[in-house]
Amino acid sequence: MGFSMRDRVELLKLSQAGEDALAASCITDWLSPGFFETEFWFMWSTTFAFQPWHSAVEFKRYLHRFMLEFSRIETLAGVKRTSTTSMIPWFGPCRPGLKPKGTFGCRLQGDRPRS
């Protein structure tokens, strides 16, 4: 994952720090610039939408919650995918009210093509 020994020590310190100690700090306050060039950071920030200036508290919470994914993050094997788009649960219930108004121009799974 591209960690140096310094990265490992800093990551461990951050993950063991209390939330009071992390309170108003950002991730860059705890990790050196080299960490943000590792493969781990690339995969982690892409997967969870983190930026270096984001909250250190939130970063720590995600580290603890998804620690089991560390060994699989390079392949994203632990990412759960659904057979349908994630938008169907949001827009599906709106469809009956929007279709008569002509404002629903896309098809959802199960819709028949227009003739």
**Rounded distance, CA 2 to CA 18, Å?**
26
Q: Which of 48, 62, 66, 104 is catalytic?
A: 62
The verdict on whether 84 is a catalytic residue reads no
Residue 79: partners with Cβ closer than 8 Å, 6 or more residues away = 47
Tokens for 26, please give them: 């950002």
Catalytic residue ranges:
62
